[in-house]
Amino acid sequence: DGGITQSPKYLFRKEGQNVTLSCEQNLNHDAMYWYRQDPGQGLRLIYYSQIVNDFQKGDIAEGYSVSREKKESFPLTVTSAQKNPTAFYLCASSADRGPSYEQYFGPGTRLTVT
């Protein structure tokens, strides 16, 4: 079955450590996205990528980094510079970046930093 996988589902880290969240898709989609979800705030865009080796900052990119070396993979690194990293992180993909292309979401990773 085609879809998006995010691993792990739950992740715990100590403050000051970088952590990388995995996102893999087998939908052959060109565009991929990372969103952050906090209670009562909906989803906010962190980074997006339209194509391999290209990515753009979203609304809350500070303290995060990404790479897009393969079409199917778009890992997100939460660095120690991110002031409030505890959140639910959602990865999505779409065939193209345009608005008529549905975004498919992964199951999410809940990151807790203490």
Cβ proximity to another protein: between 4 and 113 the closer is 4
The Cα–Cα gap between 58 and 47 comes to 5
**DSSP letter at 97?**
S
For residue 25, what is the enclosing H or E element?
strand 19-25
Cβ proximity to another protein: between 80 and 104 the closer is 104
Tokens linked to 39: 């209670």
* Residue 99 interacting with another protein (CB under 8 A): yes
Which residues of this chain interact with another protein, rule CB under 8 A?
Answer: 4, 33, 35, 40-45, 48, 56, 58, 88, 90, 92, 97-100, 102-103, 105-108, 110
